Amino acid sequence: MQGYLLKASTSVLFMEDTILLSTTVSSFPRYSKSRDRSHDVKMAARREIKWQKILYEHQNVPDNYVDESFLEEMKKNLYIRNYEYWSVVKASGEITQQISSMCLFIVSFIYMDDKRLLPDTLVLITIAVSVVGYIISKLADKFTTVDSSDEKNQRTVLEDLKTFVMFTGFSYCLSPVLASLTETISTDTIYAMTTVMLLANLAFHNYGVQAALVSEAFSLNAAIFASVCLASRLHTSWHAFATVLFSLQIFGLWPRLRHKIKEAFPAVNVALTVVLGSLALLALFTVSMVPAVVFILGHVFITFICPAWLISLQPLKNNIHGPWDEAVIKND
């Protein structure tokens, strides 16, 4: 009897497991061939429709989708400029000319501080050189092609004379203030600020290259600030006036004259670089041997080593251009 009951209970449990399994299997979705066929049809339709790089039509693809032809439009080093060594050497004269001018200004301050140069002499030299430079500027304008719009904006001699008198008068009137402007500041701090401002003048100066770093206004203001700092350490207000006047000429007027000479007489630019560098070198030799040697080494590095370094780095450029670049509107 017990064996019979054991067999009956076993059969009942087996039947319950069978029913539960059949119910679980029936709950899963059945494999549908029609669903796969519809998916294949959609994919085939997408392949047949050629993708276009437009956003005003719905193409059943995400907005950031690109096909295989996207990288085919990529171009490398499209606007690479090939430099010649000696042309770069000549162009480096813009930098060495500015450095030489700055060295002449520093030497003039040292001479006046040591009472080896009278402020009267510096003022006379500044005025005489300004007159000669103005005549050269007018001659250079005749050899330079000027647009019709620029001809209307050309200044007369009387207007330039008024500007010169105005700047000279303001500098002379403010020279007593400049001489005592930084009495509460230590000399080391003044020299540190002067060094920083002169380096800023070199960094932001316009060397004839369009760049985001170039700022003629900031470069000139930095140089004038440096000259004011140095003028405040001289003996009298007349010394301060001579220093500021000379700085206006060498940092404000002289770079513009160099630019005009380079445009009107390109062959003279190399000779101008040599003459200006020689004057600065001789002036530094009269002060100390160390800055003169540093000046020579710096000129050799900028004039001969930097151009070779620039040309050697040109093959390493890897600029890519393609359809991802921003559109540039060009006026014909």
The pTM of the full predicted model, rounded to 2 decimals, is: 0.74
> How far from 131 is each of 160, 164, 249, CA to CA, in Å?
11, 11, 11
Q: 192-237: per-residue pLDDT in tens?
A: 999 999 999 999 998 887 777 888 899 999 999 999 999 988 888 8
Own/partner long-range contacts of 115-124 (Cβ < 8 Å, ≥24 apart): 115/235, 119/236, 119/238, 119/239, 119/241, 119/242, 119/243, 120/238, 120/242, 122/242, 122/243, 122/245, 122/246, 123/241, 123/242, 123/245
Q: Bridge-partner residues for 320, per DSSP?
A: 76
Considering the chain, what is the average pLDDT of its residues? 81
pLDDT at 41 over 80: no
For residues 234-242, average pLDDT: 90
The residue that leads in pLDDT, 181 or 13, is 181
Place of tokens 């050629």: 50
Percent of the chain with pLDDT strictly greater than 90: 42
Total residue count of the chain as it appears in this document: 332
Tokens representing 166 are 């105005």
For residues 280-287, average pLDDT: 94
Reduce the secondary structure of 259-314 to three states and give it as a string: HHHHHHCCCHHHHHHHHHHHHHHHHHHHHCHHHHHHHHHHHHHHHHHHHHHHHHHH
Q: What pLDDT, on a 0 to 100 scale, did the predictor assign at position 46?
A: 53
Chain centre distance of CA 59? 44
Q: Using an 8 Å Cβ cutoff, are 294 and 72 in contact?
A: no
Q: Bridge-partner residues for 76, per DSSP?
A: 320
pLDDT at 81 over 50: yes
Helix, strand, coil proportions of the chain in percent (round to 5)? 70, 0, 25
pLDDT at 254 over 80: yes
Q: Using an 8 Å Cβ cutoff, are 187 and 233 in contact?
A: yes
Q: How many CB atoms lie within 10 A of CB 107?
A: 20
pLDDT at 292 over 90: yes
Chain centre distance of CA 48? 50
- Which of 19-28, 44-53, 76-85, 182-191 comes out lowest in average pLDDT? 19-28
The residue that leads in pLDDT, 123 or 3, is 123
- 215 Rama class: left (phi>0) / alpha (psi -120 to 50) / beta: beta
- Which of 82-91, 184-193, 225-234, 313-322 comes out lowest in average pLDDT? 313-322
Q: What pLDDT, on a 0 to 100 scale, did the predictor assign at position 27?
A: 45
Q: Which phi and psi angles does 75 have, rounded to 5°?
A: -130, 140
Q: Indicate the angle between helix axes 268-287 and 289-300, nearest 10 degrees.
A: 150
Q: What pLDDT, on a 0 to 100 scale, did the predictor assign at position 29?
A: 47
> How far from 189 is each of 184, 194, 229, 316, CA to CA, in Å?
11, 8, 10, 43
Q: What pLDDT, on a 0 to 100 scale, did the predictor assign at position 201?
A: 94
